[in-house]
A and B are shown apart, each in its own frame.
Chain A
Amino acid sequence: MLPCSWGLWRSAIHTLKTFRASPSARGLCIPTRAVCDAETIFALSSGHGRCGVAVVRVSGPASSMVLRNMAGLTQALPPPRTALLRRITDPKSKELLDRGLVLWFKGPHSFTGEDSAEFHIHGGPAVITAVLQALGSLEGVRPAEAGEFTRRAFHAGKLGLTEVEGLGDLIHAETEAQRRQALRQMDGELGRLYQDWSYRLKRCLAHVEAFIDFSEDELIEDGVLNQVDSSVRQLETEIERHLKDERRGERLRTGVQVVIAGATNAGKSSLLNTLCKNNTHTQSMTHCRANPHFNGQPCMSALSHTPKYAFFLMTKSLFLMVEQADLTLVVVDSTQLPPDPQLVAAFLQQHLSTVLPSPEAGMTAASDKVLLVLNKSDLVPEEQRERTEGELRERPGLPPACFLSCSTSTGLEDFLTVLQSRVKTLCGDPLSGAPSLTQARHRAHLQQSVQALNQYHQYRDQDLALAAEGVRLALTHLGRITGRVGAEEILDIIFRDFCIGK
């Protein structure tokens, strides 16, 4: 069978290479499948945000090439698992990016079981971005998908069964963080741009596929392919221009995004004012909140100054905002709480389910994504407040609740402590979707998309199946950003655009 023969070819070629590379180890060379098949991936493995040292991991067969190219190691690789101080340069422009430690791990003695390398660089966003972009520019090296390092480690048998238990949750957390990051991107101008490309590419593919599957029996105008030609060329130009001109594109939204939600008159604006007036930590915190604009308006005021956005009438887009947020402060008017402290928990639970986009998700994530602020505490009798506080402390199902009075500042200190510790964990969380990494991922996929579109032109007149393959591939890469496109979706477009039938 054919695959067998390919296998033969491949292994024959592979053995040949190994022999040449290390003639002394002739008898020992057993090519392992896992090593020769995988692509090489990289990712920022330490947390994003400001930190002393950032660690970038590379794994896969090209790791040694990466190390040679970026750390200027023309001769031998360093001994495995030994730190080496090197100048880290851009492989193309030879520009100095940073000085840092590099480590080399020869497979199978590495986290993933593959050849790996680590770069320990300075933790500033500019350095990290530069290194990640340099890595992405190397051939055969791409940013890792969520959980890919861990998955490779798992498949290489590097994780025990108990460790694997945690793996699912880890991947969940990573994808969750990437999803939030992606949602933020998709919401903006950049997202609309990607969606538009994806839509046009889908149509191109549908029309090529229609021409392949139906043109012999059906009335499909000959002009269809010419249209595709020009659309593909147009797309190529646009994507290439976008890749060259990164500054013009919308800046990625970074930082911890905090949304304040609450009913009309619960005290959202007061809380925002209190936070901004107060100590510098919080001030920088509220400012580092990424893009403060939402639909052209500062998002906080969109929430607080416009009564129609009061959460009982929460529009879909506001739900979306809460979904994108890393942290939601739910402000409740304490005077609205039931006087009987025993009923308060149930009341708040009910309340949350109307604020959070999906009640179930809200509950499970309650502990780390939501804080309850019980405002206007000065208007509640002291005794009732204390009893309520005691009652709420014993409720594990609810997010932490703080009594606060924005007008008298009572309880502010306690609230700020809770808030700061929460923001700190979020900033230090390696998973909260490093934007520079997302940017590198997008770039890589867009570049591959353009390359694939090239294949379309190359084969357009010789072999339409191969030309179509180029469009398919381009769409797959774009789909990694905007969402996967299945065969059914393409067929839907075909049947919508053409009258097919015999």
Chain B
Amino acid sequence: MLAQKLHLLRHNVLSFVSSRTGSDFTRRQYDVIVVGGGHAGTEAAAAAARLGAETLLITQKIMTIGALSCNPSLGGVGKGQLVREVDALDGLCGRAGDAAGVHFSILNRSKGPAVWGPRAQLDRERYRQFIQSELLSTPRLTVLEGSVDELLVSQPNPEEPGHHRVTGIRLVDGSHPILSSSVVLTTGTFLSGSLFMGQTTSPGGRMGDAQSCAGLSYTLKETLGLRVGRLRTGTPPRIVKESVDLSLAQLQAPDKQPTPFSFLNTHTRCKPEEQLPCYLTHTTPGVERVVRESVHLNCHIQQDAKGPRYCPSIESRVLRFPGRRHQVWLEPEGLTSDLLYPQGLSMTMPPELQLRLLREIPALHRAEIRTPGYGVQYDFVCPTQLTPSLQVKSTQGLFLAGQINGTTGYEEAAAQGLWAGVNAGRTALSLPPMALSRTQSYIGVLIDDLVGRGVTEPYRMFTSRAEFRTYLRPDNADLRLTPRGFEEVGCVTLRRYKKAVSVRDGLQEALMALQSVALSSTRWREKLGNISLSENKSTTLNRKQCWTFTIEIYAVYRPHCEKQSREMERIRSEESLSLPSDMDYLSLPVSLSQEVREILDRVRPNTLGAATRLPGMTPAGIIHLLNYLKLFTHCKRRHA
């Protein structure tokens, strides 16, 4: 029954697509155009459409929309928080994860609910199908197959800051231009991307896909004058499951009861007993030997483009930390897939050596490779050139999200995509841009880090990046974001909003009830036996012994979050003071040292908060800036 329904959906997608491709589609003016159909692109397109913008998603290959191009998993520590937040803002990836997951587990179970990491292994096919059918059923969203050749750029709107304004795109096939108020670029690794395997190099952003869009690169670098940097990443070979001796690996069972990512779901599509296991195995000295012998045949690792320190290829792990055993996870690719994904064995050596390396691992001694691993090097746009709404500062209406901003990971891409889509939609509908505070969400931390500090290696989310980690928890993402998403942003549906509000009200009521019980610490001890109570707060029961789980989490963290609330408020008030992006710091008539002027001019912080966090900024400089801002807005109000 389910399969039949899926088949139907798939059929619909195809027909939907064909009816809108090529000469069939007539519309030439959209509110928002999204370029790219990966995690960032799909979230961006869906978010813009939810906001009410007429949206066009352009992708090179319709069948790869929603494809998981690397690891078949979603979430984790830090990343799981991002998935929950994207879901709280009504994004796709949480629900897609629930539909496609085949192995659910909550990481860090023993370390406190603030740092739990919901994670799932995914069925690639199911994930793709879910995303495609979601997009199909999204009103105001059109999907088009094609390659973008260039961005159309014109004179800026003089009332807004910026040197250019984007007006649409032109496709490679040279047909008519397609116009729009805003454009979101989510081209991933396709910006001047090149693929590496052994000593061979070929242009492209992903094996098996069309080449990168040279025209787009040219527009960004030459026409818009954006600064770009170069990063690298890689993917492991895919192994034929049958050829693996799983008895030699350690079985890793999923959670007995899967926990869904989405706040809307009470259970996952995959039944608890249908879940698939993962396997853990380790590298051997033989692996290290093969790496050392093949270094001279390996272009990728000899290049100096920056790779991530935390997701390195097996080559760099072995070379940086020699003589150790490294973990390798063998992960299922799906319910029906005959492949395994060796997490931790990303490599770029020639294919025959890849096979030799794999076979040095006992469980893989007969392993067969379906597709070899390879490396990618690609351009990213230095994200300090963006505003907190992810718009390019110099170009009105142009938004960037995902790997093009120097990040890595599906969750990071989805989070940015959603926020860029929201702001692209708002711009098209003539609404002011919005920013998420780092005191409110991991998405806010991610974007603030990107636009405020830039990146030197592919950026990945860690919980240690969040100052207010005990408040930014996976359990309260809906309470933190959903009401605002509905009331202010407009990207949340009524159904989800009502649900979040009822949770909030219920929680409040329960807390009121608990709070009204006041006893002395001696009386508490009498009633509850030997639990740890804080003596100075003896009148209210702060911790534990609450009957529901949420309340327990809430009660444990509340005193700490309250302690931090002053700091949060300070950051928020500084974040609310925005610095005009066209400010001429070098000649600003306030007393600032030349050094501070140059820092400000180079980084051009978006808010006073961002300026405060700049290295080299002085307290005196901040006060002068603040004073100038007050004068400036004062004068402006008077003139208005």
Contact = CB atoms under 8 A, between A and B. Distances in A.
Interface of A: 1-3, 5-6, 8-10, 37, 39, 146-147, 151, 154, 161, 164-165, 167-169, 171-172, 175, 209, 211-219, 360, 459, 462-466, 468-469, 487-488, 490-491, 494-495, 499-502
A28 B326 CA distance: 68
Contact of B311 (A164, A487, A502): A502
Nearest to B561: A6
Given A168-B591, A464-B111, A501-B311, A37 B624 contact: no
B201 interface: no
9 contacts: A1-B504, A2-B480, A39-B566, A168-B623, A213-B462, A214-B77, A463-B113, A469-B470, A502-B329
B343 A502 contact: yes
Given A1-B504, A462-B112, A469-B470, 6 more contacts: A2-B476, A37-B566, A209-B462, A463-B111, A463-B556, A466-B557
Given A1-B483, A1-B484, A212 B594 contact: no
B112 A500 contact: no
Nearest to A176: B620
Given A213-B462, A469-B469, A500 B310 contact: yes
B489 to A, nearest CB: 13
B114 A501 contact: no
Nearest to B456: A488
Interface in B19-62: none
Contact of A216 (B117, B343, B471): B117
Nearest to B624: A168
A501 B112 contact: no
A501 B623 contact: no
Interface stretch (B93-101, B210-218, B256-264, B316-324): B316-324
Nearest to A148: B619
Contacts of B541: none
Contacts of A218: 327
B537 to A, nearest CB: 12
Classify the interface of chain B: helix, strand, loop or mixed: helix
A495 B309 contact: yes
B623 A154 contact: yes
A37 B508 contact: no
Interface in B293-347: 309-312, 317, 320-321, 324-327, 329, 343-344
Contacts of B557: 466
B321 A499 contact: yes
A217 to B, nearest CB: 7
Contacts of B243: none
A169 B463 contact: no
B78 A175 contact: no
A218 B310 CA distance: 10
A465 B115 contact: yes
Interface residues of B, number: 67
B627 A164 contact: yes
B76 interface: yes
Nearest to B553: A463
A501 B329 CA distance: 11
Given A165-B627, A495-B309, A501-B311, A213 B114 contact: no
Given A1-B479, A164-B627, A219-B326, A487 B619 contact: no
Nearest to A495: B309
B111 A465 contact: yes
Contact of B78 (A39, A213, A495, A502): A213
Given A169-B620, A499-B320, A466 B465 contact: no
B560 A469 contact: yes
A171 B327 contact: no
Nearest to A38: B566
A501 B476 contact: no
B536 to A, nearest CB: 10
Query: Interface centre among B112, B324, B483, B507, by most A CB within 10 Å?
Result: B112
Contacts of B69: none
Query: What are the 8 A-B residue pairs with the smallest beta carbon separation, nearest first?
Result: A463-B112, A172-B620, A465-B112, A465-B114, A464-B111, A499-B321, A209-B464, A216-B107
Interface string B436-472: 0000000000000000010000000011110101110
A228 B108 CA distance: 18
Nearest to B465: A487
A175 B618 contact: yes
A10 B562 CA distance: 9
Interface in B587-640: 590-591, 594, 618-621, 623-624, 627, 630-631
A501 B627 contact: no
B258 to A, nearest CB: 17
A323 to B, nearest CB: 16
B578 interface: no
A44 B404 CA distance: 53
Contact of B112 (A154, A215, A466): A466
Interface in B71-110: 76-78, 107-108, 110
A459 B560 CA distance: 12
Contact of A465 (B343, B469, B568): B469
Contacts of B310: 214, 495, 500-501
B154 interface: no
Contacts of A161: 627, 630-631
Nearest to A7: B565
A502 B344 contact: yes
B565 A3 contact: yes
A499 B326 contact: yes
Nearest to B105: A216
B569 interface: yes
Contacts of A212: 77, 108, 111, 115, 463-464
A487 B464 contact: yes
A331 B627 CA distance: 42
Nearest to B627: A164
A7 B627 CA distance: 29
A146 B591 contact: no
B317 A147 contact: no
A459 B619 CA distance: 35
Given A2-B480, A168-B623, A491-B464, A499 B77 contact: no
Nearest to A487: B465
A103 to B, nearest CB: 27
A495 B631 CA distance: 46
Contacts of B469: 465, 468-469
A459 B324 CA distance: 32
Contact of A167 (B107, B317, B327, B627): B627
Contact of B619 (A8, A171, A490): A171
Contact of A217 (B327, B464, B565): B327
Contacts of B471: 2
Contacts of A175: 618-620
A215 B168 CA distance: 46
A455 to B, nearest CB: 9
A5 B504 contact: yes
Contact of A146 (B111, B343, B483, B619): B619
Contacts of A495: 309-310
A390 B471 CA distance: 68
Nearest to A461: B110
A217 B75 CA distance: 12
Residue with the highest number of chain B CB atoms closer than 10 Å, among A10, A161, A164, A217: A217
Nearest to A455: B560
A219 B620 contact: no
Contacts of B329: 217, 502
Contacts of A165: 627
A498 B432 CA distance: 44
Contacts of A214: 77, 310
Contact of A6 (B320, B562, B594, B624): B562
Interface in B97-137: 107-108, 110-115, 117
Given A212-B111, A499-B321, A465 B618 contact: no
Contacts of B480: 1-2
Contacts of B78: 213
Nearest to B439: A3
Contact of B324 (A168, A487, A499): A499
